[in-house]
Each structure stands twice: as C-alpha cells, then as structure tokens.
Amino acid sequence: MKKMLSIILIAILSFPLSGCKSNKNNIHAIKYNLDTEPKTLDPQAATDVSANTVILNIFEGLTRLDEDENPTPAAAEKWENNDNFTVFTFYIRKNLTWANKEKAPLTSKDFAFGIKRALDKNANCPLSYKFHCIKNAKNFALNSKTSNSLGIEIVDDYIIKFSLEDPNEDFPKLLATPAAMPCNEEFFYSCAGQYGLSHTAILCNGPFKIKHKYGWEHFKNLTLVKNDAYQGPNETCVENINFTIGQNFDNLVDSIKNETLDAGLLNLDEVEKAREKNLTILPFADIIWCIAFNCSNEIFANLNMRKAILSSLNREFILNTLPPESSIADKFMPVEVFTESSQFQNFSDSRLFFNENSNPDDYLKNGLAELNLKTLPNITITCLDTSETRTIISNMLENLNEKLNTNFNMNPKSYRELLASINNSNYQVALIPIVIDTNSAVDFLSMFKSDNKSNLPKYKNPSYDKLLDNAKSANPKDSTKLLIDAEKLLLSQAVLYPMFKQKQFFAINPNLKGIIVHKYKAGIDFTHVKKA
C-alpha cells in the first residue's frame, strides 16, 4: 500500500512571538497571582489551573500550543503522520537538556516515561483516559507491567513513534498538555515519592525554572527565572515570573493599571471598567448560569420540591432581560463540548430541563408529605447583585409566588460573596455560575459526581457516578451512550436548570503582548511575552 506522509514542519519565524534577540525587548519580571497554591507541580498528577500555569512555563512537551490552540514544534523540531492519522513520528531536537548541573540530555525515553506515568493507575493522573487513544493504552493502564504492547516506540534517542487505536488528527495537540510532559526516570525515583512537591523535587526542561532555595514559599509566592540551559525554539524575553499565591485583589483593573499585576481573570462586574482603562481584554471560558438547588439542604434534597419550583417557571417571561455578553442557554451541555468521536450535541437532545407545568401543586403536595411539612417555609434565592440579574430573579419570584402561593425572597450578593456562599453551601436556591473549563463531555458531566469538589449543588447519586466512571473506560460509541444517559439522569433529577450563557474575560497590561491564555484549565503561557 502506498504510504503517504503528512510532514508538519513549522519554521520558528512563522511564530513571531518566539525569540528575543534585542535587549530593548527584555522584561525584568511578569507579575501574576495564582488563585490557589499548586497542589503539585508533577505534570502527570496536576489538576488545577495554578499548577498547569507554572508547568507550561517550566516544562516543554513535544509540541506547544500557539494563541489559536494549534500545535507548534517545541521539543520536537518536526513530526510526521501516516495517511489515516494512526501513526505519528516525532523528531526531538538534539541539543536539548534538563536544567540540572549535569545538563542531562533530553531524549525519547523521557517522553515515553512521562506518558507511561500518566497511564499508570498508581500515578492517579486525572487525564489518564485521554491517552487511551494510544494502542493498548487501556490494558497498560490496568496493568502497567505489560508495556511491550503499548503503542509507544523509542526508535532511538531522538525519534519516538506513537501508534493509535483509531485515527486522531488532533493527537499532536494532546502532546502539548501538562500530562504529556517529559519525566526523567532516574530523577523521578530519586525523589522518593516527593516529585513535584518542592523546588528540589522538580527537574525542568522549559524556558523557565524555579528559582533555587526560596523560589517556592508555599501558599505565599513562587518565583521562576529564565532557564539558561534551555535551547528550544521558544526563547523568552522575560527574566523572571513572580507568582503571588492566593492574594485578594479587590480591584483587579487598578492593580493591572498601576502594574502591581500584569494580567488576571476579570470578575463579571469589572469588564466595562477594564475597557474604560484601555486594558487588553481577551475572551476566556464561557459561564453557564443555572438555577441550582442545594441538595445538602433538607428541603431541596427532596426531588418533588425541586420539581415544584422548576415546573413553575416561564422561561420566556423570566429571561426577557439578559446581562451584557449573554445569550439564552437553550441547552444544558455547551456547544463546544466533545466526546471522543464527535461533538456531543450531534448525539444528544439537551433540551431536557423542566418546562412550565400548569399544575406544579402536585409536586409541592407530594414533597410536603414526604418531608412531614404542612406548608413550605420561606425560601431565599441567592443571586448576583446586578440590575439584570435582579430583574431575572424578580420575574422568577413572580412566577413562584403565583403558582405555589408561598413566600420566596431574593438575596443579591457581589460576585465574590456569591461564590463564597455557593462554595460553602450557604444557600437554598441560587443562580450559580458554572465555568466551562473543559471541552470534554465526560469531564463536564463529571463536575457533578458525588466526590467532585466542583459539584456545587452537592448532588449525590451512585447511579450517576457509575455512568461517568464507565464512560471513561468504554469504547467511543458506548461512551457516548453512557454520557447521554448521564445527562438525562442529571436533568431529570431537577438539580440544575440552565438559564443563560455569559462570556468571561481576561485582562492584560496593554504594555505587554504575547501572553497566551489557554482555555479549559490548560494554563497561561508567558514564554512569548514582549513589550508592546
């Protein structure tokens, strides 16, 4: 059979943000606040956006994503694939080293070991299943000792080949994610279980490295310095990245304007001010605003009570006013969410939320009987304190008071206060923001599993959990069916009621250019920053 090769070789000059040949472009330090302490800087175990942001700057994979989320050559100078995208061969640059005293060479073995660690069940890599596209990876994940059949071949020190179960044109993108970063096997075992937990237990290969000694003061700050050993294509103009950790900046716009910070994610009520101050604004993850019930609350742990409220709502009346940058969420699952094989909405009818019912009293009566209550006590709906949101909730209260003949109240809060109330389960019913921080259908639905910290409604259902667990290990066709069943179950339980989708924005110091803000918790890449 004639073999056609598609060779991807992108010259460094085609990505103008790379390189810093002139001292006039040098930047002494970038200042950025990590929302939380990174739980670990082990790329194969990291889950939070703070950790991924640091990892993107101190490590480099075979590829690196540009500002359009396209893979570009990084540790690999080029790659090629066969005609049906089931075999990929990567050619690693021969002058790359680790940032240790010996400047150990970076080789194919390091990349193979990193991905094998991601697949190893003992590593607890949360994204392990994404590498199941590699041939026999599922079997390897169950029993890491049987590695001979795994579709990763170390051709020589600088050539590594991947064989896949099915065609996957986007495979080079996967190799830019933190879980695909290289890992030096000898150094890893020398850390004796502490890999990624301190500056002495991290060996970098990226444009930056952690400053020695006091570079990582846990829960306070983390300082990166330029890695002089780095010889890859992504040379940086930045000398230092100074991360503060968990600091509270009440006014992010002013903090960026006076250069206390160089960038940050805007609260929804700061966007207009950021525009007025001429900050650079980039769209970030979208937010789906949903009516949610606190399922840990005695009243709203009751399914009939939840159904009584949702079946009282007239969507057209409630949503006659929308906040800025918003559109009505006709479906629960975001448009950009995908299964292993295709866009999720190609298979699912997400219009499964409750519609207005002419007689929601039946749900109310059944719920009161199950709770041994004669009447429903006063209920408070917590929401964001903006004019548009207050109008939406006022309309909702009008529906509820009319249909259920019960007193419902509104409790408007600032964005920060709203998040605190939701995260602490200090609410009965709330209009909550759900950030779309993944483009994976299984990851999105997993946010509502019983043990997930992102499960804001505190919904617990073993049947739902099992559907999601099985979907992660099933073949693409069966996985899609399980995900559809999980979505139906979640919405039939009246836990969430989608209202509208709103854009979220990232603000940047206008004197800088080249900050790449990746969606879906993938992190912030500062390696290409220059002076504007």
pLDDT in tens, 169-221: 989 999 999 999 999 999 999 999 999 999 999 999 999 999 987 899 999 99
Rounded Cα–Cα distance for residues 56 and 176 (Å): 9
Q: How far does Cα 190 stand from its chain's mean position? A: 31
Rounded average pLDDT over 286-296: 92
The amino acid present at 336, given as its one-letter code, is: E
Q: How far does Cα 469 stand from its chain's mean position? A: 19
Per-residue pLDDT reduced to its tens digit, 76-120: 999 999 999 999 999 999 999 999 999 999 999 999 999 999 998
Percent of the chain scoring above 90 in pLDDT:
62
pLDDT exceeds 60 at position 330: yes
3-state secondary structure of 504: strand
With a CB cutoff of 8 Å and minimum separation 6, the contacts of 230 are 60, 99, 205, 206, 207
Per-residue pLDDT reduced to its tens digit, 409-448: 999 998 889 999 999 999 999 999 988 877 788 888 999 9
CB half-sphere exposure, 212, CA atoms < 13 A: 4
Average pLDDT, the chain: 88
Instruction: For residue 241, report the phi and psi dihedrals to the nearest 5 degrees.
Output: -120, 120
pLDDT of residue 24: 62
**Is residue 431 within 8 Å of residue 393, measured between CB atoms?**
yes
How many other C-beta atoms lie within 10 A of the C-beta of residue 109? 16
Instruction: For residue 77, report the phi and psi dihedrals to the nearest 5 degrees.
Output: -80, -20
pLDDT exceeds 70 at position 4: no
pLDDT exceeds 60 at position 22: no
Per-residue pLDDT reduced to its tens digit, 335-356: 666 565 565 555 655 555 677 7
Q: How far does Cα 453 stand from its chain's mean position? A: 14
Highest mean pLDDT among 137-151, 385-399, 406-420: 385-399
- Residue ranges and CATH numbers for the domains of the chain are 6-249+509-531 (3.40.190.10), 285-504 (3.10.105.10)
| Residue entry with tokens 């400053």 | 211
| Residue entry with tokens 């940032």 | 99
b/e map of 372-410 (b: 16 or more CB within 10 Å)?
eeeebeebebbbbebeebebbbebbbebbeebbebebeb
Of 359, 353, 362, 356, which is closest to residue 304 (Cα–Cα)? 362
CB half-sphere exposure, 384, CA atoms < 13 A: 19
What does the DSSP 8-state code read for residue 386? S
Percent of the chain scoring above 70 in pLDDT:
90
pLDDT of residue 19: 54
Rounded Cα–Cα distance for residues 357 and 293 (Å): 19
Of 79, 72, 93, 63, which is closest to residue 12 (Cα–Cα)? 72
Per-residue pLDDT reduced to its tens digit, 135-144: 999 888 877 6
Of 128, 127, 93, 125, which is closest to residue 107 (Cα–Cα)? 93
Quote the crossing angle between the two packed helices 361-370 and 387-404, to the nearest 10°: 80
